[in-house]
Structure 1
Amino acid sequence: MSTRPINAAAISPWAPLRHKIFRMLWIASVVSNIGTWMHEVGAGWLMTSLSPTPLMVALVQAATSAPVFLLALPAGALADIVDRRRYLIASQIWMLFAAGTLGVLTLAGITTAPILLVFTFALGIGTAMMMPAWGAILPELVQRPELPAAIGLNTIGMNVSRSVGPALAGLIVAAAGSGVVFILNALSFLAVIAALLKWQRTPKQSELPAERVIGAIRAGLRYARHSPELRAVLTRGAAFFVFASASWALLPLIVRQELKRGPSTYGLFLACLGIGAIGGALLLPRLLARLSRDRIVAGATGLYSIAMLALAHSGNVFAAGVAMLLTGVAWICVVSSLMTAAQTSLPGWVRARGLALFWVVFTGGMAAGSAIWGQVASWIGIPYALTVSAAGALLGIAATWKYRIGRHDTDDRSPSVHWPTPTPTEEVESDRGPVMVTVEYRIDLSRAAEFSSLMQEVRRIRRRDGAFMWELFSDTEQPDRMVECFMVESWLEHLRQHERATVADREVTEKARSFHLGSEPPKVTHMVAALN
């Protein structure tokens, strides 16, 4: 199968904006993200007056990012269980309330350092709850070939917000104080709520009861474990983010200590980063027309490493600014490619959970990497720390090259509804189990090895979608008889397997069934534990 998503290559980077709901949500998200970055500046500045110690100032950032790392997976599970539109509206209302209350308390002069941390943590919880669901709705807003462009636009929006938000916050804090910044952040969530209310989403239909949160988390982790495509994305992402975090973490110190400049230069570099990201988004469709996603990620990682080296050893503002432009180009090419590969590897029933794992890798890699490279810089200096991280990013390409992404971009992950629902003679209680399913094949012995190899793909599908045991048996008395056997924890979970089957899964199982000899299809048997 070709690794190039041919259809996506011809799509304009701005094509998703033709869809009204996507356009409204994108504009609203940019406004909201600007408010979020304004809050970070306002909260950090306020803490310097409430409790001006390095620990307390650092805790403001920790209160923002820790909930994303800790709560993303439960949030993803919830987003796959409930209606995502209503879920997103609820998360926005939560953040509006948290930011608005903090703003009122600050304007009233009541805010203390603990209060600031508590409400910042509350906003972090809202962000953690929102992010997996926000990514999961993208395929509902645009056509599948437009998905890379939509992800690129979201990344552009984040970088534009990162550039504009802090600059606006600095001006507002200087003129009116942090309380006004918090109020404006609260108002920014109204834009997203209004856009979501305009979206008339068609809810998913299912005759089965919704999953429970703990079971949904387990199902998400199981899917990731048995999905080579998603594992590849997470592995490549971890190898990149840990090393790429060095330039983000050390940039303020580069400006202050290496270049001997102030906050205006820091803002200029963030602007260069945003401009580079826009350029990268415009360039990416042309790259997709010529290169596989694997090569784009590898090439962009190489460019990012070169930019880190230039940033480390430039010695002047102009060269460092050019390095930040290249950083923006490389960053959006890698992040957009990884996110697109994650999106296309996930069916709808588990999409938010899979994206939550991506965000865990992202935030965990960036946080851990920032701590690591900050410590390394204190030992050997900032330029050498960036040099080591650049070398590490290049080594990461080689170390993870076998984990290929984008090979299944064209696979259809929509529900196939091809697996007939079992019809027991008596009603089976939904929680009864375990359930054992057998599928009997008659195989040409000359093709037995080929059949066994293909059944490994079937094994991954069964395990990924709910089976805790799978095996392929051969009959010692009838060598041409082979039996697939797998077990699921309950009757309800097996019925969910039927709903989870995708068009791509059907193609694999049909290949397996093509090996079966005889006019009748393979015999399928369902057995439920007699003793519970």
Structure 2
Amino acid sequence: MIVQNIKKSFEDRFPALTIRNYQLFWGGQLVSLIGTWMQNIGQAWLVLELTNSAFKLGVVNALQFLPMTLFSLFIGPFVDRFPKRKLIIFTQSCLMLLALILATLTYFEVIRYWHILLLALGLGFVNTLDMPARQSFVIELVGKKSLMNAIALNSAVFNLGRVVGPAVAGVLIGALGIAVCFYLNAISFCAVLIGLFFINVPNYVPEREKKDLLAEVKEGLFYIKGTKMILFPLILLAVISTFTMNFNVLVPAFAKGGLDQDALGYGLLMTSMGIGSLLGALTLAANSQKGPRLKVLFGAPLSLSLFMSVLGFQSNYYLACLIMFIVGFSAITFTASVNSTVQLNSDNAMRGRVMSVYSWVFGGMMPLGSVFAGQITELLGASWGVTTCGLIGLGAVVIIFKLFKGAKK
């Protein structure tokens, strides 16, 4: 009886995990994202070792998201025209190849800064197609009823990778070198590909009128403009992701320059953030039956920005880890809430285009943000760089909330 009650409670809290197709997809992501975070940590530390420059690290991150900035809006109609599963198999295979190239160059000690720039650009092109395809594929796996639960669970597995990946990477970099992180990431994509081959979904493409690419892009943008519950969350996400959530630039620079930590200390700092994000995602998933809520949509970025502002003043490593835990909880609650809100308010025929704009504002604005974060860190120092980015976020939340309330009236 107790076991049955626990099972029923689990199914009520996490209904998406009772669906076989989603189980396969989620399990593959669980393995792969640990590898992805290991590579993120390894690449950031490799750039700092090669260049000792936060600005050049910012340039790497900018190039990684530049294709998303330039092409995301045009990818949406493309994603709407083709089966999502086949697109994801293609993109995941390409990501595996790029990880293998980076690993081999690093292992044989021939890696140069310009190699990393080119590989980051290649990664950006692949992710520009992969991100909206994966985001809009989830509803085909679980349906609208379990969509918010699935999105929150995707965030949970992403952040489980953020917890495990940086910690493992920090240990491996010190013991075996950076290349092993990249090799393990390449191997991890096998889990995703195996899961995708066993997923059984129809090659679903919504029927719609044939139009040229620019007309479809324009149609998608006008649709977003006319849907306030999509427009304002995306505007808020654009500003916060551009100026406040530049963790790949701000955190390693702050760990090294503000806290005087090595690779292990940086990895554990990111792990603290990952634990907070994981807890935030699980909390959101367990309460997903309530649907997206406005107080969470605006309260989470307010908390994120506030604690980023405070982080810059910290010199105590353990207190900084605690703050990163809160930042992680707030960040994932915010991004998952935006994702759920825009998908639940999107028509099926428009979802690929809406999610391509989501990808654009979430990742495509990061080149500007990465360069900004790297430049301001070099000008003001690591501590003031973090604080400044947090203060910008605080101002943005207040202004956009007022605009949103005015539009609702």
Query: For this structure pair, what is the TM-score category when the shorter chain's length is used for normalisation?
Result: 0.7 to 0.9
Displacement of 1:130: 0.6
Alignment-mate amino acid for residue 220 of structure 1: G
* 2:259 and 2:317 in contact (8 A); partners too: yes
User: What is the rounded CA distance, in whole Å, between the counterparts of 1:270 and 1:40 in structure 2?
Assistant: 11
Distance of aligned partners of 1:403 and 1:229 in 2 relative to their CA distance in 1, 3 Å threshold: farther
Question: Can you list the C-alpha shifts for 1:489-527, whole angstroms capped at 9, x where unaligned?
Answer: xxxxxxxxxxxxxxxxxxxxxxxxxxxxxxxxxxxxxxx
What residue is the counterpart of 1:319 in the other structure? 319
Indicate the SS of the match to 2:245: helix
What residue is the counterpart of 1:168 in the other structure? 168
Distance of aligned partners of 1:140 and 1:404 in 2 relative to their CA distance in 1, 3 Å threshold: farther
Displacement of 1:132: 0.2
What residue is the counterpart of 2:362 in the other structure? 362
Displacement of 1:228: 2.7
User: What is the rounded CA distance, in whole Å, between the counterparts of 2:152 and 2:212 in structure 1?
Assistant: 33
* 1:234 and 1:361 in contact (8 A); partners too: yes
Distance of aligned partners of 1:190 and 1:211 in 2 relative to their CA distance in 1, 3 Å threshold: farther
User: What is the rounded CA distance, in whole Å, between the counterparts of 1:255 and 1:11 in structure 2?
Assistant: 41
* 2:58 and 2:249 in contact (8 A); partners too: no
Please report the TM-score for the alignment, with normalisation by the length of structure 1.
0.65
Matches within 5 A, 1:337-348: 337-348=337-348
Displacement of 1:301: 2.5
Displacement of 1:179: 4.7
What residue is the counterpart of 1:137 in the other structure? 137
Distance of aligned partners of 1:267 and 1:215 in 2 relative to their CA distance in 1, 3 Å threshold: same
Matches within 5 A, 1:381-530: 381-402=381-402, 404=404
Alignment-mate amino acid for residue 223 of structure 1: Y
Residue 186 (structure 1) aligned with residue 186 (structure 2): yes
* 1:247 and 1:386 in contact (8 A); partners too: no
Displacement of 1:357: 0.8
What residue is the counterpart of 2:218 in the other structure? 218
Alignment-mate amino acid for residue 78 of structure 1: F
User: What is the rounded CA distance, in whole Å, between the counterparts of 1:387 and 1:176 in structure 2?
Assistant: 35
User: What is the rounded CA distance, in whole Å, between the counterparts of 1:98 and 1:204 in structure 2?
Assistant: 29
Indicate the SS of the match to 2:315: coil
* 2:59 and 2:367 in contact (8 A); partners too: no
Matches within 5 A, 1:169-318: 169-173=169-173, 177-204=177-204, 211-245=211-245, 249-284=249-284, 293-318=293-318
Root mean square deviation of aligned Cα: 3.5
Displacement of 1:344: 1.1
Please report the TM-score for the alignment, with normalisation by the length of structure 2.
0.82
Alignment-mate amino acid for residue 333 of structure 1: T
Distance of aligned partners of 1:38 and 1:205 in 2 relative to their CA distance in 1, 3 Å threshold: closer
* 2:244 and 2:389 in contact (8 A); partners too: yes
Question: Can you list the C-alpha shifts for 1:2-60, whole angstroms capped at 9, x where unaligned?
Answer: xxxxxxxx9855332221221221121232222223334444555677x6474765544
Residue 64 (structure 1) aligned with residue 40 (structure 2): no
What residue is the counterpart of 2:96 in the other structure? 96
Alignment-mate amino acid for residue 89 of structure 2: I
What residue is the counterpart of 2:127 in the other structure? 127
* 1:71 and 1:129 in contact (8 A); partners too: no
User: What is the rounded CA distance, in whole Å, between the counterparts of 1:85 and 1:351 in structure 2?
Assistant: 15
Displacement of 1:403: 5.4
Distance of aligned partners of 1:232 and 1:16 in 2 relative to their CA distance in 1, 3 Å threshold: same
What residue is the counterpart of 1:448 in the other structure? none
Displacement of 1:384: 4.6
Displacement of 1:211: 4.9
What residue is the counterpart of 1:443 in the other structure? none
For structure 2, the 5+ residue unaligned runs are: 1-9
Residue 36 (structure 1) aligned with residue 36 (structure 2): yes
Deviates more, 1:199-208 or 1:21-30: 199-208
User: What is the rounded CA distance, in whole Å, between the counterparts of 2:173 and 2:203 in structure 1?
Assistant: 43
Displacement of 1:80: 0.7
Distance of aligned partners of 1:279 and 1:373 in 2 relative to their CA distance in 1, 3 Å threshold: same
Question: Can you list the C-alpha shifts for 1:120-155, whole angstroms capped at 9, x where unaligned?
Answer: 432332222110010001111224232222212212
For structure 1, the 5+ residue unaligned runs are: 1-9, 409-532
> Which one has a bigger Cα radius of gyration?
1
* 1:11 and 1:149 in contact (8 A); partners too: no
User: What is the rounded CA distance, in whole Å, between the counterparts of 2:200 and 2:399 in structure 1?
Assistant: 45
User: What is the rounded CA distance, in whole Å, between the counterparts of 2:12 and 2:352 in structure 1?
Assistant: 26
Displacement of 1:374: 4.3
Question: Can you list the C-alpha shifts for 1:148-171, whole angstroms capped at 9, x where unaligned?
Answer: 222122122222223333443444
Question: Can you list the C-alpha shifts for 1:257-278, whole angstroms capped at 9, x where unaligned?
Answer: 3333333332222121111112
* 2:276 and 2:326 in contact (8 A); partners too: yes
* 1:237 and 1:338 in contact (8 A); partners too: yes
Displacement of 1:339: 0.8
Residue 154 (structure 1) aligned with residue 154 (structure 2): yes
* 1:81 and 1:211 in contact (8 A); partners too: no
Displacement of 1:91: 1.4
Indicate the SS of the match to 1:144: coil
Indicate the SS of the match to 1:313: coil
User: What is the rounded CA distance, in whole Å, between the counterparts of 1:217 and 1:340 in structure 2?
Assistant: 22
Alignment-mate amino acid for residue 33 of structure 1: L
Pick the structure with more helix per residue: 2
User: What is the rounded CA distance, in whole Å, between the counterparts of 1:46 and 1:261 in structure 2?
Assistant: 15
Residue 85 (structure 1) aligned with residue 85 (structure 2): yes
Alignment-mate amino acid for residue 71 of structure 2: L
- The structure with higher relative contact order (CA 8 Å, sep 6+) is 2
Pick the structure with more strand per residue: 1
Question: Can you list the C-alpha shifts for 1:337-394, whole angstroms capped at 9, x where unaligned?
Answer: 1111111121121212211111211124444334334444555555555444444333
Indicate the SS of the match to 2:200: coil
Distance of aligned partners of 1:389 and 1:13 in 2 relative to their CA distance in 1, 3 Å threshold: farther
* 1:26 and 1:154 in contact (8 A); partners too: yes
User: What is the rounded CA distance, in whole Å, between the counterparts of 2:401 and 2:154 in structure 1?
Assistant: 27
Q: Across the two proteins, how many residue pairs are aligned to each other?
A: 397
Distance of aligned partners of 1:210 and 1:290 in 2 relative to their CA distance in 1, 3 Å threshold: closer
Alignment-mate amino acid for residue 298 of structure 1: F
* 1:13 and 1:152 in contact (8 A); partners too: no
